[in-house]
Structure 1
Amino acid sequence: MDDNALVRGDMTRAGLLRELPDSYLAAVEDYHRLAYSVVAEARRVATGRFGLRSLDRGFGTPVFEVTMGRAGEMECQVWIDGDELFATEGGTQRSVHITTLSAAAKFAGVSPGTEAREHDSPELGDVERWLRVSPETGAHLAAWFRLGKQALDQLRDLPGATEPDEIQLWPGHFDIATAIGDADARATYGLSPGDAAHPFPYAYVGPWGEVDRADPYWNDTAFGGASLPYSEIVSAADPASTVFEFLYAGFDSING
């Protein structure tokens, strides 16, 4: 392994927790609640769209425009970085420590909502309960989504990657993903920070059509696809390359 590869590995691993705390999945659920009911809701109310993005700092909405009547339009953005919630309006940035969904929604100028909620989203629950967030878990999630975007960007750039969707952090599912391919060769490729069926983060390939289930690559028992566990990713010298190689193996199997 050359020194440059080791440096790349250190850079892509930056912020990822090698040892996840026992409270990790509970914290992920609360970040998930905040993502779909406040952060995505702020964009949805203004534009009708709710997809989020991996950002240089944390994760949240892309810049979106809010109509201000005769004053024209104002560029806005809402995002999470660590245990803080940020918002910009017309170039002015504000921030607040994350406490409850109710307080976060007030800060973002929305009501805690469920418009972007999906079947696998946690219930909204008590909006006055303090959320289980921390600087470490927030930094880990941001690093995980950045790693995912890096690997997914590589996948979308492949010559045979037809009809690729935009890479989005879906607030309802709380994973970063894209779909690539046409007809029976289409599949969803993504990274999840963990869910009820997978208590740790994982990369996955979800084919839309039929694949050879006798192939050991298609190993996941919770859905009809393949997954790569966090332990193999975080221990790799270059986590982003490891994720890309896993995703590419699925792409190659589907399109072979």
Structure 2
Amino acid sequence: MTGRRLAETRRAWHGVAEILLAGPQYRRSGTIRLQVVPGGFATVKAPALRVVGAELIVGEQRLALAGNTPAGLAAAVDVDAGVPDIYDDHSGVREDEALVVDGEIAAHLGACFTAGDAALRRVLPGQTPVLWPEHFDVSVTVDEVNYGVSPGDSWHNEPYAYVGPWAPREGAFWNAPFGAARSLGEQPSEASIAEFFEEGRAKL
């Protein structure tokens, strides 16, 4: 899995999450929150759209992301394309930009989100993980601590789990500017992510 291809696919996924899911959902239903579904992510309210691997899914309709533009996909599924206008930290993907999506990498990112969502539900039962489109990670916040999984970013290109206390902590465990992070590797595991979250809770 090359760093460039991973970054391109992640950027495309992020752009689709904002332009085709969160933006239309916010304008129609008043929320930017998204949710993890097996292998990808989806809206939580109307319009009902999902991304699984390298495809956008609406009902029985399945459209390839790779090579298509957000504007073209929006027209095909009849949604109002555009990012939510309530935050500034966007992916940078243009509505007329041809998306670069590697199917194998998209499947891996979906597996990371799926394992992370399951780990959050296991360690923090009663909490509902949210996939936030602005930072493009799935997380929950409990007692002023953020727990989540990111598909990677400018700080760390590979997908990783994190524990981010609002107040800084000291010690070897806290290895990131925002707290603690652990790379998910090639085979993300719900059990190993949950173990990391539990370790973070114990050290807090």
TM-score calculated relative to the size of structure 1: 0.72
Offset of 1:108 from its aligned partner? 3.7
- 1:172 maps to 134
- For 1:8-42, what per-residue CA distance to the aligned partner results, in whole angstroms no more than 9, with x for missing partners? xxxxxxxxxxx456411111011101101111123
- 1:201 maps to 159
Q: Pairwise CA RMSD of aligned residues?
A: 2.1
With 113-122 and 21-30 compared, the bigger mean Cα shift is at: 113-122
Within the alignment, does 1:135 sit opposite 2:103 as a pair? yes
Paired residue total: 202
Within the alignment, does 1:97 sit opposite 2:47 as a pair? no
Separation in 2, partners of 1:205, 1:117: 26
Task: State, as a whole percentage, how many aligned pairs show the same letter.
Answer: 27
Separation in 1, partners of 2:159, 2:183: 7
Give the AA of the match of 2:193: V
- For 1:117-173, what per-residue CA distance to the aligned partner results, in whole angstroms no more than 9, with x for missing partners? 755432233x2221011322221122111100111011112xxxxxx7520111111
Q: Does the CA contact (< 8 Å) of 2:162 and 2:180 recur in 1?
A: yes
Q: Does the CA contact (< 8 Å) of 2:121 and 2:127 recur in 1?
A: no
Offset of 1:230 from its aligned partner? 2.9
Unpaired runs of 5+ residues, structure 1, are: 1-18, 66-75, 158-163
Offset of 1:57 from its aligned partner? 5.0
Within the alignment, does 1:56 sit opposite 2:12 as a pair? no
Unpaired runs of 5+ residues, structure 2, are: none
- 1:79 maps to 50
Give the AA of the match of 1:243: I
Give the AA of the match of 1:122: S
- Secondary structure at the counterpart of residue 188 of structure 1: strand
Runs of 4+ deviating beyond 6 Å: none
Offset of 1:204 from its aligned partner? 0.6
TM-score calculated relative to the size of structure 2: 0.88
